[in-house]
């Protein structure tokens, strides 16, 4: 899916008027989470793969290029197609760890 | 507005949830077989589960005028055990004859292992042997893209498969194109955190159009909303969409897919539901 200009029935002004407050709090929540990590009792996960994926995703959000949601989804995704030989864990973790 | 929720794990929900769904317009649910949150200890546990899906749940749903249908399988989270898979596959055919069973599902992949894919192919074979619809679970989170790719490529290479009779569920922005472009139906699962929100589901529909797309709550034993579809309806209106489009997504599309099974019907509003 690309930019697809004009597929939203609402104008930019209408979208901002309707949704700004809901999106504003998501950005503030994320800022607070990153600050909370800085204040942690022990700085023991600065290079955690999940935190790296969030930082990479934020770089995508800061850019002007469209297709952000697909690119962010792929940052969090395992890009390989090979089958695992056997089950290693039951559940997913939310981000791909290339060093696992 | 009336709606059909084609993915709801009602064995994990209370009777109050059936009531809330009925009061918000739900006329029918379909319940794929899935993982209980722990591995079942033996084939008898599956038999008990399948019995509940084909006997108790339709009766419980009918209390509120909701038609209940179901799908049979051993889910991918338990498919690493090949012997268990074989034993469960042996008992499924007897349940396929039940009046509320629509097909095989939700089969698929979890961590995308060799044994999971072998179990997936076993279930596809069973569906083909018994001329059944197929409902497919795609993996969670970081495993979704690769699992969806393996599933779509496997089915696309199988000449026995009619894509229009297959629902590849739990699509997200990075997987919906590969599913729809190969002719399958797809579902957008309305979860508060781990799948898609109503707002993002609407984005997909705005960009791709409504053809062969359904939405569902997929409510289960985890954090999920049994009334997610009416929340989606409300959000569609907020986003400026007409009721004709909303009805297509929440009622007409699932009706079209599910009606490929002669067993599927929506309740007769003139009388009592009888599955």
Residues B117-169: pLDDT tens digits?
999 999 999 999 999 999 999 999 999 999 999 999 999 999 999 999 999 99
Average pLDDT over residues B68-84: 97
Residue B274 pLDDT > 90: no
Q: How many CB atoms lie within 10 A of CB B199?
A: 15
Please report residues of B whose CB lies closer than 8 A to that of A93. Answer: 141-142
Give the per-residue pLDDT at B275.
45
Q: What is the DSSP string of A55-99?
A: HHHHHHHHSS-S-HHHHHHHHSS----PPBSS---SS--SS--TT
- Determine the residue of chain B that is closest to A3 in CA distance: B207
The residue that leads in pLDDT, A90 or B48, is: B48
**Entry field: residues in chain B:** 275
Contact B228, B3 (CB under 8 A): no
- Name which of B111, B139, B209 to mutate to probe chain A: the one with the most chain A Cβ atoms within 10 A of its Cβ: B111
State which H helix or E strand residue B189 sits in.
strand B185-189
- Using omega within 30 degrees of 0 as the cis cutoff, is the peptide bond preceding B53 cis? no
Is domain B3-258 given the CATH code 3.40.50.1820 in the classification?
Answer: no
Average pLDDT over residues B211-216: 98
Q: Interface pTM (ipTM) of the complex?
A: 0.94
Q: In what order do the strands lie in the sheet with B26-32?
A: B3-5, B26-32, B67-72, B101-108, B133-137, B166-168, B185-189, B213-216
Average pLDDT over residues A17-37: 98
Residue A7 pLDDT > 70: yes
Q: Tokens 């984005």 identify what position?
A: B203
Do B239 and A92 lie within an 8 Å CB cutoff? no
Q: Which of B232, B188, B248, B217 is nearest to B66 (CA)?
A: B217
Helix (H, G, I), strand (E, B) or coil at A17: helix
Closest-CA distance of chain A to residue B48, Å: 24
Vertex B49, ends B91 and B20: CA angle to 5°?
140
Give the per-residue pLDDT at B163.
98
Give the per-residue pLDDT at B126.
98
Mean pLDDT for chain B overall = 96
State which H helix or E strand residue B213 sits in.
strand B213-216
Buried b (16+ CB within 10 A) or exposed e, B129-160: eeebbbbbbbbbbbbbbbbbbbbbeebeeeee
Average pLDDT over residues B205-212: 98
Both tokens of B74, joined, read: 């051993």
Residue B270 pLDDT > 80: no
Interface check for B143 against chain A (CB to CB < 8 A): the answer is yes
Q: Exposure of A88 by Cβ count < 10 A (0-12 exposed, 13-18 middle, 19+ buried)?
A: exposed
Residue B18 pLDDT > 50: yes
Interface check for B80 against chain A (CB to CB < 8 A): the answer is yes
The structural domains of chain B, with segments of one domain joined by +, span: 3-258
Residue B199 pLDDT > 60: yes
**% of chain B residues with pLDDT over 90:** 95
Tens-place pLDDT, residues A49-70? 999 999 999 999 999 999 999 9
Tens-place pLDDT, residues B239-267? 999 999 999 999 999 999 999 999 999 98
Rounded to whole angstroms, the Cα distance separating A98 from A41 reads: 27
């Amino acid at each position: 899916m690309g930019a697809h200009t004009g597929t939203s029935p609402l104008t930019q002004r209408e979208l901002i008027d309707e949704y700004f407050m809901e999106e504003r709090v998501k950005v503030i929540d994320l800022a607070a989470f990153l600050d909370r990590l800085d204040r942690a009792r022990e700085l023991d996960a600065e290079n955690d793969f999940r935190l790296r994926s969030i930082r990479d995703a934020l770089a995508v959000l800061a850019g002007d290029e469209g297709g952000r949601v697909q690119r962010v989804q792929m940052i969090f995704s395992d890009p390989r197609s090979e089958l695992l030989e056997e089950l290693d864990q039951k559940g997913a973790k939310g981000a791909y760890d290339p060093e696992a | 507005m009336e709606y059909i929720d084609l993915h709801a794990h009602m064995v994990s929900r209370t009777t109050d949830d059936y009531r809330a769904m009925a009061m918000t317009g739900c006329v029918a649910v379909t319940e794929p077989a899935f993982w209980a949150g722990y591995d079942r200890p033996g084939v008898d546990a599956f038999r008990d589960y399948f019995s509940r899906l084909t006997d108790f749940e339709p009766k419980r749903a009918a209390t509120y005028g909701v038609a209940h249908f179901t799908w049979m399988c051993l889910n991918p989270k338990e498919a690493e055990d090949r012997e268990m898979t074989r034993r469960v596959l042996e008992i499924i055919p007897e349940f396929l004859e039940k009046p509320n069973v629509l097909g095989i599902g939700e089969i698929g992949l979890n961590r995308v292992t060799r044994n999971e894919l072998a179990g997936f192919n076993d279930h596809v074979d069973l569906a083909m042997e018994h001329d059944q619809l197929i409902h497919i679970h795609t993996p969670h989170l970081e495993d979704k893209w690769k699992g969806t790719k393996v599933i779509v490529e496997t089915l696309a290479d199988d000449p026995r498969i009619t894509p229009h009779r297959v629902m590849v569920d739990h699509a997200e922005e990075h997987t919906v194109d590969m599913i729809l472009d190969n002719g399958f139906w797809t579902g957008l699962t309305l979860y508060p955190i781990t799948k898609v929100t109503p707002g993002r589901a609407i984005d997909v529909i705005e960009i791709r159009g409504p053809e062969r797309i359904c939405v569902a709550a997929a409510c289960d034993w985890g954090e999920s909303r049994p009334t997610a579809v009416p929340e989606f309806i409300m959000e569609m209106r907020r986003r400026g969409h007409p009721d004709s489009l909303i009805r297509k997504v929440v009622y007409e599309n699932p009706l079209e897919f599910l009606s490929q099974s002669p067993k599927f019907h929506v309740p007769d509003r003139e009388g009592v539901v009888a599955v």
